[in-house]
């Protein structure tokens, strides 16, 4: 199984506002950079979109180490997702079940992670990791429409 490292980031000018996502995929000597944006979105949606689009870009099942500086993405996929699924894609607040924000993207990310062996890793943003910084620049440029 091919091994891939992915670095993702999302950005938003205002929240909501114009947003962008960026991803850097590395496998052996191969490197691929992806980015895109939306006119009116949130930072959390762009963080999710970055991971989704990076995983969609893989042509075959892979062993993936995905690095993100988003606590929302990391905790959502590794801690909260099983409970949301048990609750019918709802989140619990006390005794009430409430709609899940970004349910469409969480469902897609869940589907894609089922196609690969994905290990999510959190890293501090703007802490000098070159690939994380590159994903951030890609996301910001996309948010700015460049």
CA pair distance 141, 144, nearest whole angstrom: 5
> Where do the DSSP E strands lie in the chain?
2-12, 17-27, 30-41, 62-68, 90-93, 96-99, 117-122
Residues serving a catalytic function are 9-10, 47, 69, 126, 136
Name the token pair of 4: 């891939």
Domain range summary for the chain, segments of one domain joined by +: 2-143
In 3-state terms, what secondary structure has residue 43? helix
Binding site for Mg(2+), by residue number, is 9, 47, 69, 136
C-beta separation of 62 from 1 below 8 A? yes
> Given the DSSP bridges, would you call strands 30-41 and 17-27 parallel, antiparallel or unpaired?
antiparallel
Instruction: Give the residue among 7, 2, 107 at the shortest CA–CA distance from 51.
Output: 7
pLDDT at 144: 96
Instruction: Show pLDDT as tens, one digit a residue, over the chain (146 residues).
Output: 899 999 999 999 998 999 999 999 999 999 999 999 999 999 999 999 999 999 999 999 999 999 999 999 999 999 999 999 999 999 999 999 999 999 999 999 999 999 999 999 999 988 899 999 999 999 999 999 97
Binding site, by residue number, is 9, 47, 69, 136
- pTM for the predicted model, two decimal places: 0.96
| CATH architecture for residues 2-143 | 2-Layer Sandwich (3.30)
């Amino acid at each position: 199984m091919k091994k891939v490292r992915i670095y993702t980031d999302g950005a938003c000018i205002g929240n909501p506002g114009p947003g962008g996502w960026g991803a850097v995929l590395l496998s052996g000597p191969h490197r691929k950079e992806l980015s895109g944006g939306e006119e009116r979105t949130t930072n959390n949606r762009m963080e999710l979109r970055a991971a989704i689009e990076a995983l969609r870009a893989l042509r075959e099942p892979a062993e993936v180490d995905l690095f993100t500086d988003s606590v929302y993405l990391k905790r959502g996929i590794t801690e909260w997702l099983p409970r949301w699924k048990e609750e019918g894609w709802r989140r619990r607040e006390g005794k009430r079940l409430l709609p899940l924000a970004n349910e469409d993207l969480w469902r897609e990310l869940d589907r894609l992670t089922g196609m690969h062996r994905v290990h999510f890793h959190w890293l501090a943003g703007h802490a000098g990791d070159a690939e994380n910084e590159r994903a951030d620049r890609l996301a910001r440029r996309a948010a700015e429409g460049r």
